[in-house]
Amino acid sequence: MAEHHDYFLRKLRLGIELSQADRAALVGLCTPVRRVEPRTDLADEGSPRGGLILVLSGWACRYRVLANGNRQITGLLLPGDFSQPFGITPQRWSCSLMALTPATVCELSPRALRSLALAHPTIEDALWLDLYLERDLASELIVSLGRRSASERLACMLCEIYSRLKAVGLVDERSFDLPVTQADLADLLGLSAVHINRSLMDLRRRRLITWHGRRFEILRLRELLDLAQFEPVHSASLLSGTPELAHG
């Protein structure tokens, strides 16, 4: 079983080689650690912000709820992800944060993290690369919501999740766990649960994916990438850890 901080370190090491001293300094910030139950809110929109929340294991999400009760998930947080990217931290949460699965999290002081980055230039480079990755993921979601069809949105999301999980060692060949509901996927991709179900069936009918319970397998990666119009160049910092995406 991976240590609490392993996925975090693997993610930061995608484009930067961290020294043993760098890794030890980062691990020192990952305390105290706490376990949270699924569907637990970790932060509420508009509430005063404490520290940066780091997801060490499990899945979480950022989301907004409109006055009419509709929810939009604005980002999935996978093992190794910050609640917000490195940089200036606003005084209040601009969105809510919720654990989607059982999760292990810790809270880091933004000031302590900035001080660590100043003392360790390699860590600073890794954190800025992580911010660029967050920007790329947000941009890709905007493209999906604005221009991709339902099946293309789902294909793109599966390619993204596959690459993010593979980068931190959570993929077995081309299969991985997708421990979220169809309602969660609908709220992420701006679709109805019915559209999600139809799109899943469409991808399975095309023999691009299959699944058993919440275990998904990509059968033909190149074709799935083509359908999604998912280009590795748009997430270069992420895909440096998954070179086969460039070739299928």
Whole-number Å distance between alpha carbons of 90 and 84: 10
**Domain around 90:** 6-130
106 shares its domain with 155: no
What's the CATH code of the domain at 213?
1.10.10.10
pLDDT of residue 236: 46
Confidence check: pLDDT of 143 > 90: yes
The percent of residues in the chain predicted with pLDDT above 90, rounded, is 76
54 shares its domain with 124: yes
Whole-number Å distance between alpha carbons of 123 and 133: 15
pLDDT of residue 234: 46
Whole-number Å distance between alpha carbons of 150 and 238: 24
pLDDT of residue 86: 81
Residue 175's φ and ψ, nearest 5 degrees, are -115, 150
15 shares its domain with 122: yes
238 shares its domain with 181: yes
Whole-number Å distance between alpha carbons of 86 and 181: 29
The total of structural domains in the chain comes to 2
Q: In this predicted model, what pLDDT tens digit does every residue of 161-174 receive, in sequence order?
A: 999 999 999 999 99
pLDDT of residue 14: 81
CA atoms within 13 A on the CB side of 6: 11
**Can you read off the two tokens belonging to residue 39?**
């569907």
189 shares its domain with 239: yes
36 shares its domain with 125: yes
Mean pLDDT over 131-155 rounds to: 93
Q: Identify the band that residue 56 occupies on the pLDDT scale cut at 50, 70 and 90.
A: very high
Confidence check: pLDDT of 244 > 70: no
CA atoms within 13 A on the CB side of 163: 31
Residue 225's φ and ψ, nearest 5 degrees, are -60, -40
Question: Within a domain: residue 44?
Answer: yes
Of residues 188 and 4, more confidence is placed in 188
Residue 199's φ and ψ, nearest 5 degrees, are -70, -40
Mean pLDDT over 221-246 rounds to: 68
124 shares its domain with 18: yes
241 shares its domain with 177: yes
Question: Within a domain: residue 39?
Answer: yes
Mean pLDDT over 219-227 rounds to: 95
Confidence check: pLDDT of 132 > 50: yes
60 shares its domain with 173: no
pLDDT of residue 89: 74
117 shares its domain with 186: no
Question: Within a domain: residue 144?
Answer: no
Mean pLDDT over 18-42 rounds to: 94
What's the CATH code of the domain at 33?
2.60.120.10
End-to-end Cα spacing for the chain:
29
84 shares its domain with 199: no
Residues paired with residue 73 on neighbouring β-strands, in sequence order? 63
pLDDT of residue 242: 56
Confidence check: pLDDT of 146 > 50: yes
Residue type, 70: N
Question: Within a domain: residue 136?
Answer: no
Question: Within a domain: residue 229?
Answer: yes
Of residues 158 and 233, more confidence is placed in 158
pLDDT of residue 245: 62
Confidence check: pLDDT of 125 > 50: yes
Confidence check: pLDDT of 230 > 90: no
pLDDT of residue 70: 95
Question: Within a domain: residue 110?
Answer: yes
Average pLDDT along the chain = 90
Q: How many CB atoms lie within 10 A of CB 49?
A: 16
Helices (H), the chain: 6-12, 20-29, 110-119, 121-147, 150-167, 182-189, 193-205, 221-228, 236-239
pLDDT of residue 237: 43
pLDDT of residue 91: 84
Question: Within a domain: residue 179?
Answer: yes
